[in-house]
């Protein structure tokens, strides 16, 4: 696993991702991505509210992917709606993994599964089903 100093920073990875996906850099997106990275690093809880068009998905996915590569651990992203699950699984994650593979020096493989609440015994409250796409960096 690469060390923290060997990997590009979250702001650098976000810039690569935004440009690769044809987007525009947004200061609020960078602020959120930095806060998510800090939360991951420290274990502190984080709640973020941001409007449409802020770039929330990239702001939490980029630091999460960086953490997964750095630590070799799985990152779980839970969403409230199936529409957002589908957006992440079908559009955002595949495009983002392609965009970041070179910057991270790793190729990406992916798979996904649907599972319901019964699989997640011990979790307090979950509604509906969740799409899980596992991206493995090789």
Q: Is residue 3 part of a domain?
A: no
The number of helices, as runs of H, and strands, as runs of E, in the chain is 5, 2
Beta strands in 76-119 (DSSP E): 108-116
The average pLDDT across 27-50 equals 92
**Structure-token pair, residue 14:** 């976000």
| Total domains, the chain | 1
Confidence of residue 16 (pLDDT cuts 50, 70, 90): very high
Within a domain: residue 85?
yes
- Average pLDDT (20-30) is 91
For residue 122, tell me if it sits in a domain: yes
What's the domain range around 103? 10-137
Rounded to two decimals, the pTM is 0.76
Evaluate whether residue 110 is within a structural domain. Answer: yes
Residue 5 lies in a domain: no
Flag whether 2 is in a domain.
no
The pLDDT value recorded for residue 109 is 52
User: Above pLDDT 70, what percent of the chain?
Assistant: 72
Model confidence at 85, pLDDT cuts 50, 70, 90, reads confident
């Amino acid at each position: 696993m690469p060390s923290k100093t060997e990997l590009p920073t979250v702001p650098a990875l976000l810039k690569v991702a935004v440009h690769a996906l044809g987007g525009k850099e947004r200061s609020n997106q960078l602020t959120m991505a930095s806060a998510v990275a800090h939360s991951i690093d420290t274990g502190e809880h984080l709640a973020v509210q941001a409007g449409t068009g802020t770039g929330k998905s990239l702001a939490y996915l980029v630091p999460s992917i960086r953490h997964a590569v750095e630590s070799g651990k799985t990152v779980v992203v839970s969403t409230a709606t199936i529409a957002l699950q589908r957006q992440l699984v079908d559009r955002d994650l595949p495009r983002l993994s392609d965009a970041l593979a070179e910057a991270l020096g790793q190729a990406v493989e992916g798979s996904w599964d649907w599972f319901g609440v019964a699989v997640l015994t011990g979790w307090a409250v979950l509604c509906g089903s969740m799409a899980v796409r596992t991206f493995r960096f090789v």
